[in-house]
Amino acid sequence: MGATINKNGVLAGQVAVVTGASRGIGEAIALRYAMEGARVIVSARTVEEGDHVLEGSINSVVKKIKDAGGEAHAVRCDLALEDHRRNLVSEAESTFGPVDILCNNAAVTYFVPVESFKEKHYRLMMEVQVYAPFHLTQMVLPAMKEKQAGWILNISSHAALHPAANAGGRGGTVYGMCKSALERMTTGLASEVYGEGIGVNVISPGLVATPGVMHHNLITDDTPEERVTPVEHMSEACLRLVHGDHKEMTGKITYAADMLRDYDLTPADLI
């Protein structure tokens, strides 16, 4: 039997916002949350197939969810723009109600050495990958605090780890800076809201063969197969990080492989 929607699943009736959800990891997370009964706001810049050089769109993801019997709504959002961020939260609330789960997955990335990195690209990456998650969090926190319940999940990368000096770089310094900042924001916020019913976590996926990863040639013919993580592993780990005891499931800086092992998770097929 194929994957289905369980309207009485562990996220039944909850409102989940997933950014960067037109393809790849964001799409997988949106689908997995919907499979457990969440009403999902699918957000990204790409509305229709063909709007972007890469395959995938928010309307396609919403159609998958609705065709399977789930609830979803597409909201176009350029996270570099303040009015788009405000509209994302406003439309989520007006469509489904206050946000229960915020998954900050979206990223814009340039892999360029520091010496030749353009200021406009630096500022754009910081805006999208660091300030946008911070701002969205600010907007959803009041309702979460009022309900004494909520989850914020940030998507990081192994790039946040300090590289060895002799490792050789591929222009990932700014990307690593952004992800390191996101991880520190996660633990800081988890500490701030501990005991208020809100769990805040950050997870890195490993190397997943998403359209973006392939576009940047981060996986090549020489990449060992065991290094590549199936996207279903990441979506299953991201599901586990947004339900349970908020006091125990919070402040985590974790990885997909570790979550599967530590919580004995079996990745589900996606709809």
Q: What is the pLDDT of residues 117-167, one digit of tens each?
A: 999 999 999 999 999 999 999 999 999 999 999 999 999 999 999 999 998
Q: What is the pLDDT of residues 169-197, one digit of tens each?
A: 789 999 999 999 999 999 999 999 999 99
**Which is higher by pLDDT, 4 or 229?**
4
Q: What is the pLDDT of residues 213-259, one digit of tens each?
A: 444 455 455 545 556 789 999 999 999 999 999 999 999 999 999 99
The phi and psi torsions of 148 (rounded to 5 degrees) equal 55, 40
- 15-256 under CATH 3.40.50.720, yes or no: yes
Active site residue 175: yes
Q: Do residues 46 and 58 make contact, with C-beta atoms less than 8 angstroms apart?
A: yes
> What is the three-class DSSP state of 114?
helix
- Residues forming beta bridges with residue 155, ordered by sequence position: 203
Indicate the range of 10-19, 96-105, 162-171, 191-200 predicted with least confidence. Answer: 162-171
Whats the size of the chain, residue-wise?
271
**In the Cβ-directed half-sphere of 196, how many Cα atoms lie within 13 Å?**
18
pLDDT of residue 206: 85
Helices and strands in the chain, H and E counts? 9, 7
pLDDT of residue 161: 95
Residue from 33, 122, 131, 175 carrying the catalytic annotation: 175
pLDDT of residue 207: 81
Tokens 């009736």 locate to 13
Q: What is the pLDDT of residues 32-60, one digit of tens each?
A: 999 999 999 999 999 998 777 889 999 99
Map out the domains of the chain as residue ranges. 15-256
Cα 193 to chain center, whole Å? Answer: 20
pLDDT of residue 126: 98
pLDDT of residue 170: 82
pLDDT of residue 208: 82
Q: What is the pLDDT of residues 67-80, one digit of tens each?
A: 999 999 999 999 99
